[in-house]
Amino acid sequence: MQDRAEQLGDKVVYQIYIRSFNDSNGDGIGDIRGITQRLDYLKGLGVDYLWITPFFSSPQVDNGYDVADYRTIEPMYGTMADFDELAREAGARGIGLMLDMVFNHTSTSHAWFQRALAGDPKYLAYYKFVDAAPGASAKDPGEPPTNWLSKFGGSAWEYVPSLNKWYLHLFDTSQADLNWDNPEVRRELVDVVRFWKDRGVSGFRFDVVNLISKPDHLEDDDEGDGRRFYTDGPHVHEYIRELVREGGLDGMVTVGEMSSTSIENCIRYSAPRYHELSQTFSFHHLKVDYRDGDKWALAEPNIAALRDTLASWQEGMTAGGGWNALFWSNHDQPRPNSRFGDCSSEEAWRRSSELVGTINHLMRGTPYIYQGEELGMTDPGFASIDEYRDVESLNYYQILQDEGKTPGEALRIIGRRSRDNGRTPMQWDESKHAGFTTGTPWIGIPSNHTTVNAKAEVRDPESVWSYYRRLISLRKETPVIQRGSVHFLDALSDKVIAFERTLDDAPSGPARLVVLCNFSGTRQPAIASDGLAEGSLLIANARDMHEEEGTLVLGPWVAAVFAW
């Protein structure tokens, strides 16, 4: 099989959160035709694939990640004819479509679950149902089967009085976990990917796919929330190989979202010799601002820990033949310039926005751009909980208060952590609703859309957008970026991340790069300057750097790449 670097090294993926990308009909919600209308913008940026978040039939409790029918389109997003038009028009521009498949769970509105509720034995076996204790009732269901916690708060089990059973939901109560141990379930899901392949889909992203295999024996977790029992579960590799084999996915672009995973497992998920997926998302680097590992306990980003995490995954995955999906943000994460940088002034905002882009696009793997990242979109800074829409955020606003936080403290934490930070509408222009809709947007729009928007930035050669376009071009032009090995360097400051990319016998362009990134609002020593003068500055977000007693010193939020 083709080496991952040969297959994916020059590719860039752009994530579209459909609800917030572009609204074509004025109802305030993005849709499929809205994507089609913006294809020329995406072609101009230079991306190869569009990962589109779920647009399938859904009650929208979790904004589409609660699927009620994998083969039909939620009317608010359009029709199958709209999708077919998008596939044609994207293909005409050389852009492939990647669909987001939510296969760990379905909505409780799905016909399978409804038939299970009716007591149909076939469909009861489609989900993780467990008998309640004798004597359980709606008034007193007793204890759930385990003490596992839902990712959205509360128990991971829900009692169904009519069945006298509990069902597992690792996410919202409306998202019932499928039973992948049932071969009929696996065949159903294979048919789903075949259906979309036949409609011209070029790749798939699999949501929390490393959670699909649950243990045979259910037990309480006396150390945590239960995830150690079902993460990278006992049959997960077997089941993914079967899905890839039977669905005809081997050789396609496939990415797995891997929750709380390990390098060893991700090598197995993504190395070609295992015939599973082509790349993996891991999230360890996005936990360096969690105090004591708790998402809802705020801390400043630990850049030394960030450096060590990136180094471990970059070097470890390379050594094992695995392939990383490179990203800072998505529909579940705050904006990276707000999170890891400084957006308090125009210059700091621009540098911070380009800094995170530089490191992401120069590492080994396939870079992902989340919509608006290429513009430097920021967290919205909502002033009231009433402005939030995300089920997780609303749940935790109450949970944090139940734990003793004041409403103000809870709101401050939600403001830093909410998934809605990445879900505000795409900022197309300076008009009232940022060119996203002619109606009322489903969620508020940051006030900085008057200056941070595509209309202004596409025509400005010094904009964040133009910088991202240059990063994409460099990847497509430069073999050492596509295929080179990676080695992290010992920087002279714990606020600086430094690494090199090398490629022996590079057919064109440089054979060595050194990437230096200052994650700080003050000047920082980077590395010894010996030898840097022999290289050329390939790209930088500012020329604010100088030599001082044999050391290269970087200005605030500076990213610089030297080439030999």
User: Which residues carry out catalysis?
Assistant: 207, 257
DSSP secondary structure string for all residues of 305-368: HHHHHHHHHHHHHHHHT--BEE-S--TTS--HHHHHS--SSHHHHHHHHHHHHHHHHHSSSEEE
Round to whole Å and give the CA distance between 436 and 429: 8
DSSP secondary structure string for all residues of 523-535: -EEEEE-TTGGGS
**Coil, strand or helix at 500:** strand
DSSP secondary structure string for all residues of 420-476: GGGTSPP--SSSTTTTT-SS--SS---GGGGTSSHHHHHT-TTSHHHHHHHHHHHHH
For 130, which DSSP code?
A: E
Round to whole Å and give the CA distance between 264 and 147: 28
Q: Tokens for 28?
A: 């305030």
Give the count of alpha carbons within 13 A of 503, CB side only: 19
**Coil, strand or helix at 55:** coil
**237 CB-near residues (< 8 Å, 6+ apart):** 265, 268, 269, 274, 276
**How many angstroms separate the first and last alpha carbons of the chain?**
31
Q: Tokens for 426?
A: 């795409």
**206 CB-near residues (< 8 Å, 6+ apart):** 101, 103, 254, 255, 256, 257, 277
**Coil, strand or helix at 169:** coil
Query: Angle formed by the axes of helices 236-247 and 183-197, to 10°?
Result: 40
Query: Angle formed by the axes of helices 303-320 and 263-270, to 10°?
Result: 40
CA 24, 30, 33: angle at the middle one, nearest 5? 45
**Coil, strand or helix at 179:** coil
Dihedral angle computed from the Cα positions of residues 99, 100, 101 and 102, in that order, rounded to the nearest 10 degrees: -160
Q: Tokens for 263?
A: 């390098």
**172 CB-near residues (< 8 Å, 6+ apart):** 61, 62, 66, 150, 152, 391
Are 166 and 129 in contact by the 8 Å Cβ rule? The answer is yes
Nearest to 96 by CA among 107, 87, 85: 87
Are 337 and 344 in contact by the 8 Å Cβ rule? The answer is no
